[in-house]
């Protein structure tokens, strides 16, 4: 069996390479996705995840993350967590408990403190300045900037599939707002016997469709991974109408084949056994089948 890893946005390029190297060295899907997500969490250039994430309307950088092991369906998640380096690592650690797998706010921070997770003030000078500038411009949520969740799906050579997500959430969100990212079935899902999916975009729209579970359900019915991603998004589009807000989906079947669907131009990264990480651009097409092309030069894409 062969390994495979897919991740959202150009910002995950280096993380995807790291995840690929873990998998190439016979590492686990769990270690691969966490390392991939952490590469983005730690990079202050990206203002939608982890360090230098944009603050909420109360000035707090609050982070959401989710992790699911497709062998056992065990998951861990944190929401509205402030002051820690890696919400994804904390989410992953929570899968080891029979209960209390999703913790939010002060309770999540207390758990992280008691378990010795690395602290970090994620509000940087840059993100604070951006927040003040944008707020003063009276920007609305309708801007898509900063909705960009990092999502990784990986399959290791043993066939285990894992999903992992991390975000600072909706642009200029209210304090206490939690999106799809830490919610099993909405922002991510993984079942090693079927496949996995994860979502980025407007969390409130993704949650209306419980979209990650919808993609996996379609694969369970025998649909090809690309077709399942396109159909799950098309079904929600049909239901919500033309005003559906931005959503992008990544998916993987149990054999490590990947699929993507999106309502707008969406860069993503894939590495597979025997190859290096490649950057792709997905775009919606009139046919309903997502158009995908390889980007040879990452600098060609202006977006993260």
Enzyme catalytic residues: 149
- Please tell me the distance from the alpha carbon of residue 19 to that of residue 101, in angstroms, as a whole number: 25
Q: Interaction with a copy of itself in 129-148: which residues (CB under 8 A)?
A: 141
Distance in Å, CB of 272 to a copy of itself, minimum:
27
Asked if residues 272 and 2 have their Cβ atoms less than 8 Å apart, the reply is: yes
- Please tell me the distance from the alpha carbon of residue 163 to that of residue 185, in angstroms, as a whole number: 11
- Please tell me the distance from the alpha carbon of residue 277 to that of residue 227, in angstroms, as a whole number: 23
Q: Is 213 in the site for a copy of itself (CB under 8 A)?
A: yes
Segments of 229-285 assigned E as strands: 247-253, 258-262, 266-272, 278-283
Q: Is 126 in the site for a copy of itself (CB under 8 A)?
A: no
Asked if residues 4 and 270 have their Cβ atoms less than 8 Å apart, the reply is: yes
Among 27, 44, 83, 107, binds a copy of itself (CB under 8 A): 107
Among the listed ranges 23-31, 115-123, 189-197, 257-265, the one in contact with a copy of itself (CB under 8 A) is 189-197
Q: Is 11 in the site for a copy of itself (CB under 8 A)?
A: no
- When the beta carbons of 101 and 290 are compared against a copy of itself, the nearer one is 101
Distance in Å, CB of 186 to a copy of itself, minimum:
6
Among the listed ranges 17-25, 180-188, 268-276, 294-302, the one in contact with a copy of itself (CB under 8 A) is 180-188
- Please tell me the distance from the alpha carbon of residue 54 to that of residue 37, in angstroms, as a whole number: 17
Among 145, 208, 224, 273, binds a copy of itself (CB under 8 A): 208
- Please tell me the distance from the alpha carbon of residue 30 to that of residue 125, in angstroms, as a whole number: 33
The sign of the CA dihedral 216, 219, 223, 225 is: positive
Among 240, 264, 295, 301, binds a copy of itself (CB under 8 A): 240
- When the beta carbons of 23 and 88 are compared against a copy of itself, the nearer one is 88
- When the beta carbons of 21 and 175 are compared against a copy of itself, the nearer one is 175
Q: Interaction with a copy of itself in 56-75: which residues (CB under 8 A)?
A: 56, 58, 73-75
Distance in Å, CB of 18 to a copy of itself, minimum:
28
The sign of the CA dihedral 182, 244, 70, 15 is: negative
Query: 134: how many CB neighbours lie within 10 A of its CB?
Result: 17
Q: Interaction with a copy of itself in 75-104: which residues (CB under 8 A)?
A: 75, 79-80, 98-104
Q: Tell me the CA distances in angstroms from 42 to 6, 85, 193, 294, one per residue in order.
A: 19, 7, 32, 26
Among 217, 227, 230, 304, binds a copy of itself (CB under 8 A): 217
3-state secondary structure of 182: coil
- Which residue ranges make up the site for a copy of itself (CB under 8 A)? 56, 58, 73-75, 79-80, 98-111, 141, 170, 173-179, 183-186, 189, 191, 193, 202, 204, 207-210, 212-214, 217, 221, 239-240
């Amino acid at each position: 069996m062969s390994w495979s890893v897919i991740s959202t946005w150009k910002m995950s390029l280096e993380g995807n390479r790291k995840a690929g190297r873990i998998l190439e060295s016979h590492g686990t899907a769990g270690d691969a996705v966490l390392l991939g997500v952490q590469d983005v969490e730690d990079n202050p250039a990206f203002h939608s995840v982890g360090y230098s994430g944009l603050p909420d309307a109360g000035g707090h950088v609050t982070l959401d993350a989710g992790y699911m092991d497709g062998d056992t369906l065990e998951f861990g998640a944190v929401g509205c967590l402030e002051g820690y380096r890696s919400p994804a690592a904390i989410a992953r650690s929570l899968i080891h408990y029979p209960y209390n797998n999703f913790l939010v706010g002060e309770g999540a921070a207390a758990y992280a403190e008691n378990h010795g997770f690395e602290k970090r003030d994620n509000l940087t000078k840059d993100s604070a300045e951006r927040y003040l500038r944008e707020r003063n411009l009276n920007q609305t949520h309708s801007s898509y900037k900063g909705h960009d969740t990092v999502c990784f799906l990986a399959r290791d050579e043993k066939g285990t599939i894992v999903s992992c997500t991390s975000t600072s959430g909706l642009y200029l969100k209210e304090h206490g707002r939690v999106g799809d990212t830490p919610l099993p079935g909405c922002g991510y899902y993984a079942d090693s016997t079927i496949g996995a999916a994860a979502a980025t975009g407007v969390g409130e729209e993704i949650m209306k469709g419980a979209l990650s579970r919808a993609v996996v359900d379609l694969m369970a019915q025998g649909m090809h991974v690309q077709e399942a991603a396109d159909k799950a998004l098309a079904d929600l589009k049909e239901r919500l109408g033309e005003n559906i807000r931005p959503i992008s989906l990544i998916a993987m079947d149990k054999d490590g084949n990947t699929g993507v669907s999106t309502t707008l131009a969406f860069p993503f990264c894939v590495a597979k056994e025997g190859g290096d990480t490649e950057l792709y651009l997905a775009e919606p097409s009139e046919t309903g089948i997502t158009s995908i092309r390889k980007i040879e030069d990452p600098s060609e894409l202006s977006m993260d």
